Structure formats: structure tokens, C-alpha cells
């Protein structure tokens, strides 16, 4: 019997907004890796506009921005995570990991009842 998967989606709600979720966390990670919203968007297969809107929502939900774009400088600026952005991403990944570990025994119990 091949192991079934459990798909866990965590969303941190802030009023009517989703301050952070699986997709936004992936976007933060891609921005940190590429140093660019447009490159991060491309990597995740989403439009630049959508990526920008997700970043804007995050930046508005948190006390200080998670992502900043600097202009000028010797490299012509760039986009990066702020200190808070790095922390938020780290805690979200820890939360995902904790959820995965906590659900695993129940998943295995359910899996034994699935058709092979």
C-alpha cells in the first residue's frame, strides 16, 4: 500500500484578510532566494501582479513590512525580506512542521482504511 498524503493548509487570519498562508510563505521564501518579486512570481508560476498583491497584504497585516524593495545602490537595488519577514517565515515553517508531526499518527490510522 503506498502511503497517502496529508495536505495541510494553515491560514493566519487577520480580520477579513489572510495575513499568512501556505502560498504567501512560499512567496516569502522565493523572494528571499531570488531577491526579486518578479523572479519569485515566475518561480511559483504566478503573475507579478498577484505576487505584488500578496506581498502588499502581508505588509499591511503585520506591524512592520515583511518585504522591502530598496532602490539605487551599486547593484541597482533589490527586494528582500526584513528581519521580521525572516522571523515570520521561520515561525510559519515551524508551525507547518508541528502540524505535520501532530497529524501523522491519525493519518496512518485513516490510511489503513483506504482502498489500496
All residues at 6 or more sequence positions from 74 whose CB lies less than 8 Å from its CB, including other chains: none
Task: Report the 10 Å Cβ neighbour count for 70.
Answer: 11
Smallest separation, CB 26 to a second copy (Å): 16
Q: Is residue 6 near a second copy by the rule CB under 8 A?
A: yes
CB 22 within 8 A of CB 97: no
How far is the C-alpha of 56 from the C-alpha of 58, rounded, in Å? 5
x-marked contacts with a second copy along 26-45 as a string, rule CB under 8 A: --------------------
Site for a second copy in 49-78 (CB under 8 A): 60-63
CB 108 within 8 A of CB 102: no
CA 72 distance to own-chain centroid = 28
Smallest separation, CB 76 to a second copy (Å): 30
Smallest separation, CB 112 to a second copy (Å): 9
For a second copy, give the closer residue by CB, 16 or 45. 16
Q: Which residues form the interface with a second copy (CB under 8 A)? A: 4-14, 18-20, 60-63, 84, 87-88, 91-92, 94-95, 98-99, 101-103, 106-107, 109-111, 113-115
Amino acid at each position: 500500500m503506498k502511503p497517502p498524503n496529508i495536505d495541510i493548509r494553515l491560514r493566519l487570519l487577520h480580520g477579513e484578510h489572510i495575513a499568512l498562508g501556505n502560498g504567501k510563505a512560499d512567496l516569502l521564501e522565493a523572494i528571499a532566494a531570488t531577491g526579486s518579486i518578479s523572479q519569485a512570481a515566475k518561480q511559483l508560476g504566478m503573475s507579478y501582479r498577484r505576487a505584488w498583491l500578496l506581498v502588499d497584504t502581508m505588509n499591511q497585516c503585520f506591524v512592520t513590512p515583511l518585504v522591502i524593495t530598496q532602490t539605487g545602490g551599486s547593484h541597482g537595488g533589490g527586494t528582500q525580506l526584513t528581519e521580521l519577514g525572516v522571523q515570520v517565515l521561520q515561525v510559519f515553517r515551524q508551525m507547518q512542521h508541528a502540524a505535520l508531526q501532530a497529524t501523522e499518527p491519525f493519518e496512518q490510522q485513516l490510511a489503513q482504511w483506504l482502498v489500496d
